[in-house]
Amino acid sequence: MTLPPLLPCDLRARLIAGVAVLLLIAPLAHLGPALAALAGVLALIVLRRQPIPWRRLWHLEAFLILLLVTLPFSVPGTPILELGPLSASREGVLRAGVVAAKVAASVLFLTLLFAGVEPARLGTTLRALHVPEALVRVFLGLVRYLGLIRAEMQRLQDAMRARAFRPRSNLHTWRVYGYLLGMMLLRALARAQRAEDAMRLRGYTGRFLHDTPSPLTAPDRIAALALPLLAAANLGWDLIAKGAGSA
Amino acid sequence: MAHIPDGVLSLPVLLGGGALAAAGVGLGLRALDDRAIPRVALLSAVFFATSLLSIPVGPSSVHLLLGGLMGVLLGVGIFPAVLVALALQAVLFGFGGLTTLGVNTVNIALPGAVVGLALGPLIRRQTRPGRAGALAGAGAAAAVFGTGALVAGALWLSAPEYTPVARVLLVTYLPLALVEAAVTAIVVGFLTRVEPAALAPALKMRET
């Protein structure tokens, strides 16, 4: 690679830099810096040759859309549009634009941050970041068993479908889903017991062997510093821009 | 609906939520015996998988939160269980958020933990499945409204302009509470009938 990596390859550095960038995007209050953050993230995606996850963007939560629709009417300011008793303010429209840009930038950055990351590899990273061992093991246990549990649930749902079950909004549906979940819980508890027994039989004493993370490389260090610095500069611009634009 | 993405909340709310979540997770981990880790992980996996089901309600559909049920089955262990599930959701699907991890954990786990601690002992004492289910159903509905109130509170604290949205949001939690109460009542009735021991948090393992 002749290009600088832009995002740290090391997961520890990537996670810390990523959280820092997202925290520095959160307080942005002006349209310029918010759009700059979005443009920066888009540039990063293009430079990393990643596809833009349009589906993630459109799959915004219902309440966010609600937020963007109501903000123009709930922020007081210069009216630009009258709808009966409601009036949309210029400030409100700007505010909605800021929130939309920030959310889009954050969502895109998050997908970029974890693109191609195997969750199972995060265990080492989290340990290196001094996350409590028990929490790391619960996380790894979830990573390990989620696929299995989902496959089991799929089998049960296939069986339900084979008996001509179709979900509707009635008590019968809820009862069937209740039994499905109850069955899943029973099987999961039995499986947890078996897993625990198997670990004990193999002499598990409360410690897993795990690899020591390799030291950070120079490009990783540079990338880990450069990204939050850019985001901090953007926030600085936002703070100076006070007065102009929306508040 | 319960997952607030990055970029919406203000910095103090994010940090406050993070601190609260850290306290809750710390409490949960302290109560957690080494041997109960597979149990918490597997229950977390079941709740994760179930929350992906979309259940029709009228013209729309809901995704279960299951905070109340988790609280009964996990006690304070609900905090680490919810945190890891939300973290994995962010890593796998880019869903929810990274900076909002703390706030979202508190929003789902805190009402569940309260319900589990308050109603759990009473539910486990019932011998009639129907009554245990009814209690759990009421607890589940309460937990959903608790989550709704916390989500609305987080929005309101971040910016007063979010207030109308927060109000509408609370209304959308009504059908969810109804479905959750029904499903949770069935699940707890079922467990009371076939395996009452499953309803205990069992974070500390007894030597057998």
Q: What is the mean pLDDT of chain B?
A: 90
* Residue found by looking up tokens 């740290």 in the block: A8
Give me the count of residues in chain A: 247
At residue A39, the 3 state secondary structure works out as helix
Please check the confidence at residue A4 and state whether its pLDDT lies above 50.
yes
Please check the confidence at residue B94 and state whether its pLDDT lies above 80.
no
Token representation of residue A215: 């030291």
Please check the confidence at residue B202 and state whether its pLDDT lies above 90.
no
**Chain segment A58-89, per-residue pLDDT in tens:** 666 566 777 778 888 887 777 777 776 677 78
**Using a CB-CB distance cutoff of 8 angstroms, which residues of chain A are in contact with residue B10?**
26-27
**Chain segment B175-191, per-residue pLDDT in tens:** 999 999 999 999 999 99
**Using a CB-CB distance cutoff of 8 angstroms, which residues of chain A are in contact with residue B38?**
141, 192-193, 195-196, 199
**Lowest mean pLDDT across A116-130, B43-57, B66-80, B141-155:** A116-130
Do residues A231 and A24 lie in contact, with contact meaning Cβ atoms separated by under 8 Å?
yes
The pLDDT of residue A245 is: 47
The pLDDT of residue B101 is: 94
Domains of chain B: 11-196 (1.10.1760.20)
**Chain segment B14-49, per-residue pLDDT in tens:** 999 999 999 999 999 999 988 889 999 999 999 999
**Using a CB-CB distance cutoff of 8 angstroms, which residues of chain B are in contact with residue A18?**
98
Q: Which residue of A has its CA nearest to B193?
A: A182
Whether residues A26 and B9 touch (CB distance < 8 A) is answered with yes
**Chain segment A181-223, per-residue pLDDT in tens:** 999 999 999 999 999 899 889 888 767 777 777 788 888 888 8
The pLDDT of residue B208 is: 45
The pLDDT of residue B44 is: 95
- Residue from A26, A59, A88, A43 nearest A231 by CA: A26
Q: What is the DSSP letter of B197?
A: G
Radius of gyration (Cα) for chain A, nearest Å? 24
Q: How confident is the model over B144-153, as a mean pLDDT?
A: 94
> Exposed, middle or buried by CB within 10 Å (0-12, 13-18, 19+), for A148?
middle
The pLDDT of residue B15 is: 94
Q: Which of residues 43-72 of A touch B (CB under 8 A)?
A: 53, 56, 60-64, 66-67, 70-71
CA dihedral for A75, A77, A83, A85, sign (positive or negative): positive
Q: What percent of chain A has pLDDT over 90?
A: 34
Q: How confident is the model over A116-145, as a mean pLDDT?
A: 89
The pLDDT of residue A58 is: 67
Please check the confidence at residue A137 and state whether its pLDDT lies above 50.
yes
